[in-house]
Each structure stands twice: as C-alpha cells, then as structure tokens.
Amino acid sequence: MSKRLELEIWSQDNCAGCGLCVAACSKQVLYWNGGNHPVLEKRSKTVGYTQGTLDSCSFCQVFCEDVCPRLERWTPFEPLKILAAQAHGPVKSGAPNDVIRSILAAGRSAGLLDGVVMLDLDPWDLKPVARVVSTVEEIVDSVGPQYLWAPIFDVLNAAVYDRAMENIAVVGTPCAAQAVRRIKASPKTHLKKYQEAIRLSIAVFCTGAYRPELIDEILVKRMGISRDQVKRLEVSADHEQMRALLWDGEEHTLPRQLAESYTLTGCGSCNDYLGESADLAVGTLGAPEGSSTVIIRTHVGEVFARNAVQMNLLATSLDVDTAILETAAGEKDRRQRAQAFKDLQILMLDALADPVQRGEAIKQFTRLYRTPTRSTAPERSRNSCTGC
C-alpha cells in the first residue's frame, strides 16, 4: 500500500474523494466503506491453525499514488481566453451546466467525443451519481454536477474498458481535473490506456462538495420537500444559498451555512476554486446575469469551445469581470500557506521518529512563521462566500 496516501492524504483528512486511486488500482483492493476516503481491503490466509495477514499490494507499482491529485502541487494552466457564454440549441440558458452540456453536445455531434464521464443527479432519488453518457440525447438529458459528492472516477473503467471509449470528456470538480492532469503526467505504462482515452476535462467552479445525506437531513426532514418534487439543485451565483427547483415551478432556498457541516472534509484544504488544471473551467463568477464564465485554459479546450460556437450551440462575448476572478484566484495564496502548514505537520511527525528530519522540520517551521502573508485578496471568514 502507498504509505504516502495513508500518511499524507487519508490520515490528514485531505482526500478529495475523486475515486481515481480506486479506479487505477491494479488489484482492485481499494473500496469505499462510507468514510471520507477509500480503504484498503484486508486479505488473510489460513495455514493449519494459524491465520496470517497478506500484503494486498505485493508486487504493485503503486498506481494509486501516481494518480492521486492531492500528492502534487500544480502550477495553474494560465487562461488563454476568458469568455461569457450562453447555451443555444436544445438547452438554451446561461447556467454553467447548460453551457457545459452545449459544449459536450457539439463535441459529440462533431465526432470529437464518444463518451462523457460526469457527475450527475439521479432524477428519482436525487442521489449524486457518476455516469457515463454517450449520445447527444443522454448529454442533453443529464443534469450535471450539483455540488453533491460522488466519486466520479468510479465509472472510468466502465468507459475505458467495458465500453471501449477512445475520446472521453471528464466533467466534474476542479480536483477531478487535477486527477486527470496527474494521470496524464504519469510515466507508467499501465495508465497509458486512460491517458489516451481522456481528451478533455471540464471543471465547474467549486468551493466544496456536500455529502448526499444533506438531501435527507435538510431538504426532506427540515424543509418537508419530498425527493420526487425536486427537479434540480443549484448554488446561487454568490454561493450563499442553495436552491431546490421543484417540478411545479416553485423554488426553495436554504442558506449555504446550513449545508456547511455536510461539506466533504477534504474540501477544507482545497486550493483550487477555478478549475486551474482543467481544459475548460465554467462557473457563474464574473459573468453578467444570464451567462456563465468560461475559462479556456488549453488548446484542446479552445477547440471544443470554438466547435460549439461554430455549431451555433454557444454564444460568447468578452463581457467578463476578470478582476473578480483574479481576487478568487488570489485566495490561493492563503490556501497554499495553509497547505504548507499541513506539510510541516507531516514533517514534524516524521521527525519524531527520524532525527535526520528534525533539522529540516525546524528550518521549515522558521521559514513559515517568518514569511509574511500577502494581503492582495480580501480576508473572508471560513463560512462566508469564497467568490466562486
């Protein structure tokens, strides 16, 4: 088993819950048991009257470590273009998920894609699900990411191996895009099939994902709304409220603070609001009313956006408040510092057992405490809007 995953991610409550380690594990010995991170299956063997524990990971090249987005610090892909966009065609709106569906539908129609791995919402029980869709109709019928957590890469093997898809888009949170970037950068040949199959990653701006229990505890029990009444969930543009849109046209709002305790623990140390590793990042921040901001970060992202415009499925303009995006990105300074303190914590734990590490721990401790924080981004309280 990768000691780094255990020590640096799981025991530090730092897992983003993407599920890529589970998908990439060559022996399928990682699984979810309802906790905040995957767990390793314990295997044992009985010989005579004795039972011994087996190493579930013997002779493995530790693929789980190679794909985990939390074990790498990324320099952001700098934006090539920042546009305001509205979806045209079958889904006509400026909501982020609709803009994403338009880009995907255009990509599928043009043969740029043969499948999409995405976070979605089961319309019957409102459970977040990871799904593989392959037709334009399926793309249009999907709801898209709803800020409810599900391990998106749980269906990656179904897309790559069972359905033999060769041109896949992954649509999820920024950490999912980081995981895609990680797997693409790996030199391990076992991961080549994934590297070749994933063509595009799209991230929605994200300040945190909520555990699905939120639906029962808040929507059903507190607000008295039954699951079958709800058409979709939305987070307001200022991220201060969650909205439940009902099939009869009614709209119910709940303050985001109420939902805060359901946030995935790993989101607390996340340093990426704006999908900085994705080909395309989409959200409402910075866009005029009725549009979404689309940050094009790579040439692949540019091809998909341009294709959607050429097929008249997307209308774009330059009307984006980029200063507000910069402020949100500036938050990263503070979050990176928080991460540096977390790394120091790990180093100090190591130093307890290893005297060689003590000098390094003291050096880092001094450096961190003496480095002044930059005050470019306005300080926000933990529970307030992060601007995404």
| Cβ distance to ligand SF4 smaller for residue 70 or 108 | 70
Q: Does 26 bind ligand SF4 (CB under 6 A)?
A: yes
Closest contact distance (angstroms) between CB of 227 and ligand SF4 is: 23
C-alpha–C-alpha distance, residues 116 and 264, integer Å: 24
Contact 114, 168 (CB under 8 A): yes
Q: Does 19 bind ligand SF4 (CB under 6 A)?
A: yes
Structure tokens given for 127: 């459970």
Q: Which 305-334 positions form the footprint of ligand SF4 (CB under 6 A)?
A: none
Q: Which 204-223 positions form the footprint of ligand SF4 (CB under 6 A)?
A: 206-209
| Cβ distance to ligand SF4 smaller for residue 89 or 301 | 301
Site string for ligand SF4, 155-174 (x = CB under 6 A): ------------------xx
C-alpha–C-alpha distance, residues 24 and 147, integer Å: 24
Closest contact distance (angstroms) between CB of 236 and ligand SF4 is: 17
Q: Does 267 bind ligand SF4 (CB under 6 A)?
A: yes
Query: Maximum Cα–Cα distance for the chain, whole Å?
Result: 74
Q: Does 349 bind ligand SF4 (CB under 6 A)?
A: no
| Among positions 116, 225, 270, 351, the unique one binding ligand SF4 when judged by CB under 6 A | 270
| Cβ distance to ligand SF4 smaller for residue 16 or 294 | 16
Closest contact distance (angstroms) between CB of 248 and ligand SF4 is: 31
Closest contact distance (angstroms) between CB of 162 and ligand SF4 is: 20
| Among positions 8, 12, 63, 325, the unique one binding ligand SF4 when judged by CB under 6 A | 63
Q: Does 194 bind ligand SF4 (CB under 6 A)?
A: no
C-alpha–C-alpha distance, residues 235 and 251, integer Å: 12
| Cβ distance to ligand SF4 smaller for residue 67 or 235 | 67
Q: Does 266 bind ligand SF4 (CB under 6 A)?
A: yes
| Among positions 12, 25, 119, 202, the unique one binding ligand SF4 when judged by CB under 6 A | 25
Please state whether beta strands 168-172 and 81-87 pair in parallel, antiparallel, or not at all (unpaired): unpaired
Closest contact distance (angstroms) between CB of 187 and ligand SF4 is: 15
Q: Which 231-260 positions form the footprint of ligand SF4 (CB under 6 A)?
A: none
Q: Does 37 bind ligand SF4 (CB under 6 A)?
A: yes
| Cβ distance to ligand SF4 smaller for residue 230 or 264 | 264
| Cβ distance to ligand SF4 smaller for residue 54 or 368 | 54
Applying CB under 6 A, the residues found at the interface with ligand SF4 are: 1-2, 5, 9, 15-21, 25-27, 29-30, 37-38, 40, 57, 60, 62-64, 67-70, 173-175, 206-209, 264, 266-267, 270, 272
